[in-house]
Amino acid sequence: MTKTPSARGKIFFFSGPSGVGKGTLINYLRETKTDWIFPPSCTTRAPRPGEIDGETYFFITKEEFEARIKKGDFLEYAHVHGDTYYGTLKAEILEPIAEGKTVIREFDVQGFSQARERLDRNDFVSIFLRPAEDLDTLVRRIKERAPITEEELAKRVNSMEKELELADIYDYQIFSEDGNLEKLFNDAEAIIRQEQSD
Ligand code: 5GP
C-alpha cells in the first residue's frame, strides 16, 4: 500500500565541510530530479561570465537588497567578502513548499542556523554530510591532492572542526566515503524518500 504524499512539500538542507561532496550531490540531484526545486540565492556581486540571472543567482543592487532586508523578505542573509550581500528569499522556498514540492538547498552551518529559526519545524529536514575518515586522514589527503601552505591548511582544518562541532543540530548525518559517491547519493535519496512519504 502506498501512502498519499502530504499536500505540503519540504525543504532539505545540506551542510558539511568543504570537499565532502556536497556540491557533487546537489548537482546529481539537480540533474536527476527534474521536478524538484533548487532555488538560487540573491547577491549584490556582479555576474561572472556565463552566470545567468535567476539561475546562478538573482543579481540585485545593494539598494534593493537592503530594502528587502527591511521588508523581512530574507530567510537568512550574510555580508560576505567585504561589501557583498548574499541571501535566501523566503518566497523562493515557501512558495514551492506550499505547492507540495521538494526543495533542495545547500547552506553553511551559520546560514542553516539562521534559516531554521525562521521556518516552521515541519517544513524542513536537515542533513549533515560528514567525512567518513578522521581529521588526520583528511589532512593527509588535502596535502596529497594539491600544494597548500601551512597557513591555508590550518584555516581549512579550523573551519572543518567548527562545522563538525555543530553537526549535532542536524536531523540526519550521513557519511561521505572518499571515492564512493554512489553510497552518498543513495543515502541522501533514501532520507528524502522516507521524509516525503511521512
Ligand atoms: P560566490 O560569490 O563565489 O558565488 O559565493 C561566495 C560565497 O557566498 C560562498 O561561500 C557561498 O557559500 C556564499 N553564499 C552564496 N549564497 C548564499 C546565501 O544565500 N546565503 C549565505 N549566507 N551565503 C551565501
- Which set of grid coordinates corresponds to residue 52? 545567468
Query: Which has the closest alpha carbon to 86: 77, 97, 75?
Result: 77
pLDDT, residue 156, reads: 85
pLDDT (mean) for 6-31? 91
Query: Which has the closest alpha carbon to 176: 31, 32, 27, 23?
Result: 23
| Residue 117 φ then ψ, to 5° | -70, -20
Q: Say yes or no: CB of residue 88 within 6 Å of ligand 1.
A: yes
CA 173 to CA 187: how far, in whole Å? 10
- Which set of grid coordinates corresponds to residue 82? 567585504
Q: Which is more confident, 127 or 7?
A: 127
* Ligand 1 atom nearest to CA at 106: 12
84 — pLDDT class (breaks 50, 70, 90): very high
Domains and CATH numbers, the chain: 10-197 (3.40.50.300)
Q: Which residues contact 140 (CB under 8 A, 6 or more apart)?
A: none
Ligand 1 pocket test: pick from 52, 68, 80, 92 the residue with the most ligand atoms within 8 Å of its Cβ. 80
- Write down the pTM of the prediction: 0.88
Residue range 87-114, pLDDT digits in tens = 999 999 999 999 999 999 999 888 999 9
- Which set of grid coordinates corresponds to residue 122? 515541519
Residue range 148-180, pLDDT digits in tens = 899 999 988 888 888 888 899 999 999 999 889
144 — pLDDT class (breaks 50, 70, 90): confident
Q: Say yes or no: CB of residue 41 within 6 Å of ligand 1.
A: yes
Query: Which has the closest alpha carbon to 156: 13, 19, 12?
Result: 19
Residue range 51-81, pLDDT digits in tens = 999 999 999 999 999 999 999 999 999 988 7
